[in-house]
Amino acid sequence: MGAYNAIEKELRAGARRWVVTGAAGFIGSHLCERLLSLGQRVVGIDNFSTGQRRNIQFLTGLSTAAANFSFIEADICDYEKYGQALGGADYLLHQAALGSVSRSIDKPLDTNRANVDGFLCVIEAARKSKIQRCVFASSSSVYGDAPELPKIEARIGNALSPYAVSKRINELYAEVYGRVYGTQLIGLRYFNVFGPRQDPSGAYAAVIPRWIAALAQDQECTIYGDGETSRDFCFVENVIQANILAATTTHADAIGKHYNIACHGRTTLRQLHAEIGRAFSKLRPNFKLREVRFGDFRAGDVRHSLASIELAQRNLGYAVAVDFAAGIEQTVNWYLQNPSKA
């Protein structure tokens, strides 16, 4: 039995109490959904700055939510408002943030407030509440201009955006809180997460939902650059499992570290466009993939990204549950079945 299957069995046998920030967001709502399916008690926190109210409505409508899910509408900087909810909780999964490299370049003060001030408020509230462990979302952006592939946790480069700076500061605060206060924190460096319920709208939408939405409406997609920029795209199921493994691990060397969470695969933007097109062709027999439009390279974008996942495998028992191609097919299928979301 794999590490994740074993912990699922353990959780089903006894409920624990979890707090999820960013619960109305893409990843946060998936985490809440999984925990509730395992019979866990979950408190969600969000201020709807980027999260969707429909995600909370979806969660509260689950048959498992009636006795086990509660929601607090609060800004993470206002820990006086949500701090009491952390009392008695076993685990905190901190997903709340302002994402997007381009947004951070346009709005650096907003990014700093949400991602740095907000992070510090959350982990301080966790410390005061004596939560057993906090797992937080970091980002592959911390590798900046480091040229090595694959990316190894111990080697990072110069930050290329305010967003990257904010996530690196989170990691430094986590290290300090571990040393000074003994707070147990684990950071997960996400690599381009995608999947159902990811918002395709707005100027800062991620590339996969944005392209799926465009193709669903027979519109062309835009590639910024020459199309050879590459990413390690990671389906959301892998991130769900990584969070639960990190929160519950008993590995002596796992605490206080930051881990790459990815698929250890490299896909160019041209290849991504073709893969989404193949998924559409399977589900829509008459679908024809339109040619892409090219735009200028965007400031702050990392050229290539590929993760080493060896440390997460060794310390957390992490394993890729859903690979890139299967994840794309599942995601396209979800959006086609839920056209109002695309």
Q: Which domain holds residue 260?
A: 3-341
Note the pLDDT of residue 173. 98
Tens-place pLDDT, residues 116-169 = 999 999 999 999 999 999 999 999 999 999 989 999 999 999 999 999 999 999
Examine the residue annotation and report whether 4 is marked as an active-site residue of this protein: no
Domain count, the chain: 1
189 bridge partner residues: 138, 260
Q: What CATH number did the domain enclosing 329 receive?
A: 3.40.50.720
Amino acid at 334: W
Note the pLDDT of residue 205. 77
Tens-place pLDDT, residues 233-287 = 999 999 999 999 999 999 989 999 999 999 999 999 999 999 999 999 998 888 8
Note the pLDDT of residue 288. 87
* Average pLDDT score, the chain: 93
Comparing C-alpha atoms, which of 146, 290, 116, 271 is closest to residue 216?
290
Classify 299 as helix, strand or coil. coil
- CA–CA gap between residue 151 and residue 264 (Å, rounded): 10
**Angle, to 10 degrees, between the axis of helix 26-37 and the axis of helix 53-60?**
0
- CA–CA gap between residue 36 and residue 118 (Å, rounded): 26
Which helix H or strand E contains 138, and what residues bound it? strand 133-139
Note the pLDDT of residue 342. 53
Note the pLDDT of residue 79. 87
* % of residues, the chain, pLDDT over 90: 80
Query: Is 180 within 8 Å of 191 (Cβ atoms)?
Result: no
Tens-place pLDDT, residues 18-42 = 999 999 999 999 999 999 999 999 9
Q: Where are the beta strands (DSSP E) in the chain?
A: 17-21, 41-46, 69-73, 91-94, 133-139, 185-190, 193-194, 222-224, 230-231, 234-235, 258-261, 267-268, 293-295
Options 79, 91, 163, 335, the catalytic residue: 163
Q: Residue 340 — pLDDT band, cuts 50, 70, 90? A: low
Note the pLDDT of residue 163. 95
